[in-house]
Amino acid sequence: MRQQHQNGYYVIKSMSLACFLIRKGFNLLKVDDSIQDPRKKVFLFEDTPELQRAITEFTQNLKRKRGY
């Protein structure tokens, strides 16, 4: 699950992560077509330390569920 930083935005390619962040109260700033695959969408959030912590929480929970 690779994300990208872009002009103060954090670009998320995973819908499950985007939904997790929205449920945690983060504002979805924009949904756009993926440059790599126009059939897919990307989700833009403001890149903040709080967002980074929430993403870490999500990935740790995911690893725990998968048994890593």
Model pLDDT for residues 1-54, shown as the tens digit of each residue: 556 666 789 999 999 999 999 999 999 999 999 999 999 999 999 999 999 999
Q: 3-state SS string over the chain?
A: CCCEEECCEEEECCHHHHHHHHHCCCCEEEEEECCCCCCCEEEEEECCHHHHHHHHHHHHHHHHHHCC
Closest CA to 45 of 16, 12, 1, 20: 12
Residue 20 CB neighbour total at 10 angstroms: 18
- Cβ partners under 8 Å of residue 30, min gap 6: 9, 43, 44
The pLDDT assigned to 3 comes to 60
The pLDDT assigned to 64 comes to 86
Tell whether the model's pLDDT for residue 68 goes beyond 80.
Answer: no
